[in-house]
């Protein structure tokens, strides 16, 4: 019988560019983002209980363009967490750069915890 090794780990989602919402003055890599209704292709920074759609990977020097990894189907994101998330839970933002586990009302599915200390691996379906 063949031996199988658990590999796991991040699988990058689609990366595309957006603009920060007009009220967001300090975007930075690692910020979780949500859809903004302020204008076309604008995103806002997540706050507690928001459902993130992606994470900022790069910011232009002038802060006007964000490269964002979207949480697309099949992606696995490794994200820092707060609280005590459990395998099988969904996630919501708990702050601009961290997530928390929730039983419902979130997104994704926690498939790994502390493979890198303080982070959860989240599969997006």
Q: What is the pLDDT of residue 6?
A: 52
Do 48 and 90 have their domain in common?
no
Cβ atoms of 55 and 77 within 8 Å: the answer is: yes
Sign, Cα dihedral of 17, 29, 99, 46: negative
Q: Answer yes or no: do 38 and 84 share one domain.
A: no
Mean pLDDT across the chain: 93
SS3 27: coil
Any domain includes 46: yes
Residue 3 belongs to some domain of the structure: no
51 or 6, higher pLDDT: 51
37 located within any domain = yes
- The three-class DSSP label of residue 22 is coil
Instruction: For residue 32, give its domain range.
Output: 15-70
The band of 35, judged by pLDDT with boundaries at 50, 70 and 90, is very high
Q: 79, 30 in Cβ contact below 8 A?
A: no
Residue 5 in this model has a pLDDT that exceeds 50: no
**pLDDT above 90 coverage of the chain, percent:** 90
pTM of the model: 0.91
Could you read off the pLDDT of 56-79 as tens digits, one per residue?
Answer: 999 999 999 999 999 999 999 999
Residue of 95, 89, 92 lying closest to 109 (CA atoms) = 89
Counted domains in the chain: 2
The Cα 52–Cα 99 span in angstroms is 9
């Amino acid at each position: 019988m063949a031996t199988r090794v658990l590999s796991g780990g991040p699988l990058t989602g689609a990366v595309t560019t957006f603009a920060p919402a007009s009220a967001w003055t300090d975007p930075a890599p690692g910020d979780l983002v949500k859809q903004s209704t302020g204008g076309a292709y604008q995103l806002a920074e997540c706050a507690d209980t928001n459902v993130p759609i992606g994470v900022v990977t790069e910011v232009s020097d002038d802060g006007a363009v964000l490269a964002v990894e979207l949480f697309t189907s099949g992606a696995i994101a490794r994200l820092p967490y707060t609280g005590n998330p459990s395998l099988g839970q969904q996630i919501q933002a708990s702050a601009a750069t961290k997530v928390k586990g929730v039983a419902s009302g979130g997104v994704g599915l926690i498939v790994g915890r502390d493979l890198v200390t303080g982070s959860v691996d989240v599969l997006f379906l």
